[in-house]
Structure 1
Amino acid sequence: MNRYGRVILLVLDSCGIGEANDAAEYGDVGTNTIANIARAVGGLHVPNLARLGLGRIHPIAGVTTDAKSGAYGKMAEQSAGKDTTNGHWEMMGVKLEQPLPTYPEGFPKEIMDEFEQRIGRQTLGNKPASGTEILKELGDRHMQTGYPIVYTSADSVFQIAAHEEIVPLEELYCWCEIARAMLVGPHGVGRVIARPFVGENGQFVRTANRRDYSLLFGRTVLNELQEAGLDVVGIGKIEDIYGGSGITRGIHTNDNMDGVDQTLTAMRDVEKGLIFTNLVDFDAKYGHRNDPYGFAKAIEQFDARMPELIGSLRANDLLIITADHGCDPTTAGTDHTREFVPLLAFATGMKTTVSLGVRETFADLGATIADNFGVPNPGMGRSFLYELTESDR
């Protein structure tokens, strides 16, 4: 069986493609991020994703089913929850058996008292909130007092927002490390997130200096690749999601287009291994803000960059595109949604389209990568490498 020298894996954060079989347990019946967006805006123009088979996974307004070459399917999540952490860790072979803790009423007093004692100042907020709305509400007060804004969401996160001119970035990152060390055991949130912002007089804007501090949940395919001497380049928030474990080089990005640019740069530099990119704008800028029009535009902007990505593939490269969960902006809430995620794969030698069907777990992706590079799969999943390489013949 032929193997690929490099795998380029892009996660379109939040681009789910239909309610999961257990969506009712999460209150997500009827969700379908991509298809509902397409219907809301009168159709998506994504000819390059269509050529790989996007329209064959699920009917999508404006997207044809006339795929040219590539492999297509969708994946179901087995881990409990519907967060970035759960989805990404399962992709690389780790199933989270229990939902991560969430705090719809804010964090307990004992947690906040200890955090304030450790950082030497009071805090503001301590409630679930939109990241942009809480800056409108508390940004000016933060500027006056220097007290950080602590907030959460429907996800398992402890977020700390501070103005870059009031709290230096290194101090904000230090506070996050303090919170991360505290939040273990029953209060072990998936991520502590630094949320720096700038601006004044209520006109505040979050910057690209976000950092995520994740729990580690076990050994992944990434660790196996790294120990085999292969490059594992994490672009966007990938390094943060895995706490740096198994990542040989981390590259943070400003936005989706910078993420594509950095991926193209890595494709010029990396000789063998995995280039793993998360494009977060779909989620952060549009899904959580219930903006189907902005979301649609972002998908179309990514599609317009596809020819560059495909044109940069070497003869033995494999390109894979997927997502980590949904975040349907057409629903009443702003939370992530429990959905299947698309699975698209392409290599320059593929001569036909291949249906990968419905994969039982996101971990099939990690199993395929492990199979491709001949390293152990430390977790779960069933490889679809044979189906891909057969289409090369």
Structure 2
Amino acid sequence: MSTATVNPAPAEADEVITRQTVRQRRWKLAISLAVSTVLIGIMAFAFPRDGVSTYRLGDRTSTVDLGDVGLPTFATVAVCTVLLVIMTGYAIWAAYTYRRPGLWLPIVFAFVAVFAFLTWSAADGLVPVTGLLFGAVSLSVPLVFGALGGVIGERAGVVNVAIEAQFLLAAFSSAIVASITGSFIAGLLAAMLSGALVASVLAAFSIKYLVDQVIVGVVLNVLITGLTSFLHGALLTPNSEALNSPPRFPRWAIPFLSDIPVIGPVVFNQTLIVYIMYVAVPLVAWGLYKTRWGLRLRAVGEHPQAADTVGIRVNPTRFWNVLLAGAVAGIGGAYFTLGSVGSFDKEMTGGLGFIALAAVIFGGWDPVKASLAALLFGFATNLRTLLTNLGSPIPSEFMAMLPYVVTVLAVVGFAGQVRGPAAAGKPYIKG
């Protein structure tokens, strides 16, 4: 019995050719892992360090003392380097075979690489794990709120380059209001209003008057920086006791949960604004993907013409959501004066608004992923301080670059191929 060969129909053949044409190897992650592995390997074998790296798992507030764990420095770093080589090889194989490795790969790789680097730097030194993580969470708080504000604004179609300005004016206002009233709650509300005020200027010029959104954001950053610096010298410095001595957020320990070893003091012995952060991240994520508000928000940011045809008022929706984004970022600004420093100082945000914007891109305009990116930068910042205290052999100039290098690597190398909202940065003209 003979068998006949059936050729595919022209339409089917075109479909097969199309699928084969768009198939491409994604080398971005593999190259990033390879470069990082080479750097760790040079550190481990070209500049080996002997001794014992000690990790302290408890602190003075812990009810359970887990003691210290000592690891042989060279052997531990060598094992970590081998693991990095294996993961890099897997990434190269996945790229060559057109596979997409899961999110676990860059996460596990980053954990092992940081652990190797920290172990190498801490030769014959002590690493307080709880203190390292606690500092990372604290430094990440304003970045998380800034990133959430950036996600909301850009999902609505407005690029929020003015996060830095919202941080600064919110920090300035919260310091004055909290100092006058003696209430950190009043200071927090003032910070939210200040962030919304800056956002209203951004929204008015970019939505109503169709001015380029990036230019408006940059101008606002320069304007608010100069304004707060002038008012700091003219108003706050001569009256520091009355206008620049705000009460700080008290730390509230959650019973039982704060007693969990390592994690308890880090997560459940925090201030009110940190607990607000815990609620804000899942709330924004739920609202963005599960509610009518989120559907409308994403619609005006992705395809405003289609949203307009179904009755959604595009520009008013954008305007009010940009104000909401500014208020959320304002909470992060309040943390500088009410949660961290305890007073306002000029240019105290130090460009963190731009890092929050980078976290938005790294997180793929997703609130949860953007918050994780903000936590990564906070960890890198606190790691720099710890390594300086440990007397790391790396020059201090390079240590100061560490958080920004981590941010660049994360956005360029590990973020993969991300696409922002289609209509972000584009004004909508009805009709």
TM-score class, shorter-chain normalisation, is under 0.3
User: TM (normalized to structure 1)?
Assistant: 0.24
- Bigger relative CO (Cα 8 Å, ≥ 6 apart): 1
Q: Structure 1 or 2: larger helix share?
A: 2
Q: Which has the larger radius of gyration?
A: 2
* Superposition TM-score, scaled by structure 2 size: 0.22
